[in-house]
Amino acid sequence: MMNEMQERICKLTYKKFKRSKACTKVLQLMDSEEDYTYCKALRKVLSEDKRLSREKLEKELSLYV
């Protein structure tokens, strides 16, 4: 039981560590006091960096949202 819990914590920690800056920015915008929805935050981050792929970012965000 404890090993399962530790394993889950390790996986979540690893996912958080591996998370991209763009993904982190979207999540921060959604958590901010400003009224950012998922779509609004995603559009803002994508507009700031044209090199980002919407599909890849959405796939990464699906782990957290």
Residue 14 is predicted with a pLDDT of 59
In a domain, 62, yes or no: yes
How far apart CA 26 and CA 45 sit, in angstroms, is: 7
pLDDT at 44: 95
Range of the domain at 61: 20-65
Mind listing the pLDDT tens digit for each residue in 11-64? 666 556 567 889 989 999 999 988 899 999 999 999 999 898 999 999 989 988
| pTM as predicted | 0.69
- Is residue 1 in a domain? no
User: What distances in angstroms separate CA 5 from CA 12, 15, 49, 65, one per listed residue?
Assistant: 11, 15, 37, 21
What's the domain count of the chain? 1
Question: Residue 41 has which token pair?
Answer: 């935050």
